[in-house]
Amino acid sequence: MGFDHRLSCDARLKPETTVEQVVEALSPLLDDFGFSREKVAAALHNAGKFNYGSSEDDHIQYDPETGSLEFWTCGHVSGDFPEAVSQTAQRLGPLSDAAGYLLLQDHDTANLDEAQTEFFFGPSKKAIADHRFQMDLSAAGHLLATHLPEDAVTRLLDEARVAYHTAKLAPYRVMLHEDRGDKFQIVFDCMAEDEDHAVEQAENAYPGCEIVSCLPDPERLGAGALPGAGGSPTDNRKPEATVTLGVFDSKGDMVGTAAKTLTLDAVEDIVDHATQLVLVRRDGSDEDAMNVVTGELEEALVVAGIIGES
């Protein structure tokens, strides 16, 4: 059993995407409509547009220079048509430069929940998730605007954006060589959405570096949990700062550097004890006083994970 439909799409593909790749991606729809792939490709090559109906709205249009793809289809289709739309969305994903969606409208159903369906696609799952979030946020904004002042709506939407992006972050540890062939590895700790995001941050911090490994950091997640394993790794997280520290051997000789993420409480504790140690030394205090303050500084460094216990 079929239905009367309307299908629309406005996508941005990678600029190098060819007409042939576009036609291949749209082939599930073209085959369902009985359109010749060769005829569609020829029209896109010659005019950048394929019209198939009596209305100017019924068309497929593609510009290889900008990557802009848009099309509209309408009319009666079979009950299997949504599957063809789904397959087309999956094929557009690898070609897309940004997330988008195909909007399928069923003009024959009285059920508003089934009257239209979005088939999302994008260059990555993250891009799709972000796009869907922005759509939901926009819809929420329009709804809230009918009940709340503009400044209240803006504040709520800003808080929603912060909560959305923060909730997706988890701790990762990237091991890298600052220069290829280096003997020593640098530790780069960060909060990231996934491994790719963590590597991206490491490469921004150390341009031209060589990535050795990138793994979730179970210790910073707590209880050995991994991202996505349940719970929120960002709950009650204290403010942090990532600093580059020297790496020293047992004799105190510097042998490399490492990026280390510290809570601001730990940074304040270390700076306070270091300041106290310098002032005690300047005062010419006895050895016992120096040992007490040095021990307190050592403890702060151990708790922060900068050095191990003696």
How many Å apart are CA 69 and CA 199, to the nearest integer? 32
Helix %, strand %, coil % of the chain (to 5): 45, 25, 30
* 12 and 100 fall within a common domain: yes
253 in a domain, yes or no? no
pLDDT of residue 117: 93
* 100 and 193 fall within a common domain: no
**Cα–Cα nearest to 3, from 111, 86, 102, 118:** 111
Q: What are phi and psi of 158, to 5 degrees?
A: -65, -40
pLDDT of residue 120: 95
156 in a domain, yes or no? yes
* 132 and 92 fall within a common domain: no
Domain boundary among 167, 195, 224: 167
309 in a domain, yes or no? no
Report whether 226 contacts 216 (CB < 8 A): yes
Dump strand ranges (E) for the chain.
3-12, 49-51, 59-63, 68-77, 100-106, 116-121, 170-177, 186-192, 210-216, 240-248, 254-263
* 142 and 152 fall within a common domain: yes
Domain boundary among 193, 218, 237: 237
pLDDT of residue 289: 79
Q: 147: number of CA atoms within 13 Å, CB side?
A: 5
* 38 and 21 fall within a common domain: yes
How many Å apart are CA 186 and CA 192, to the nearest integer? 18
128 in a domain, yes or no? yes
* 16 and 56 fall within a common domain: yes
pLDDT of residue 56: 65
196 in a domain, yes or no? yes
* 198 and 223 fall within a common domain: yes
**Cα–Cα nearest to 61, from 45, 75, 77, 82:** 45
pLDDT of residue 260: 78
pLDDT of residue 298: 86
* 40 and 61 fall within a common domain: yes
Q: How many residues does the chain have?
A: 310
pLDDT of residue 64: 92
* Tens of each residue's pLDDT in the chain, 310 residues: 789 999 999 999 998 899 999 999 999 999 999 999 999 999 999 999 998 866 666 889 999 999 999 999 988 999 899 999 999 999 999 999 999 999 999 988 888 777 899 999 999 888 998 899 899 999 999 988 988 899 988 998 888 888 887 777 888 999 999 888 888 888 888 888 888 889 999 999 999 999 999 988 756 544 333 443 333 334 444 566 677 777 777 777 777 777 778 887 788 888 887 888 787 788 777 788 788 888 888 888 888 888 777 7
The tally of domains found in the chain comes to 3
* 19 and 107 fall within a common domain: yes
How many Å apart are CA 254 and CA 248, to the nearest integer? 4
How many Å apart are CA 115 and CA 177, to the nearest integer? 54
* 14 and 99 fall within a common domain: yes
* 97 and 154 fall within a common domain: no
Q: Which domain holds residue 9?
A: 3-123
pLDDT of residue 303: 86
Task: Map residue 138 onto helix, strand or coil.
Answer: helix
17 in a domain, yes or no? yes
Report whether 247 contacts 255 (CB < 8 A): yes
pTM beyond 0.75:
no
∠268-194-256 over CA atoms, to 5°? 50
Domain boundary among 134, 167, 200: 167
∠207-208-214 over CA atoms, to 5°? 85
259 in a domain, yes or no? no
289 in a domain, yes or no? no
How many Å apart are CA 286 and CA 276, to the nearest integer? 14
Task: Map residue 155 onto helix, strand or coil.
Answer: helix
How many Å apart are CA 53 and CA 74, to the nearest integer? 9
pLDDT of residue 55: 65
Residue that the structure tokens 């090559």 belong to: 45
Report whether 202 contacts 174 (CB < 8 A): yes
190: amino acid identity, one letter: C
Report whether 95 contacts 21 (CB < 8 A): yes
* 191 and 206 fall within a common domain: yes
Residue that the structure tokens 């939407």 belong to: 157
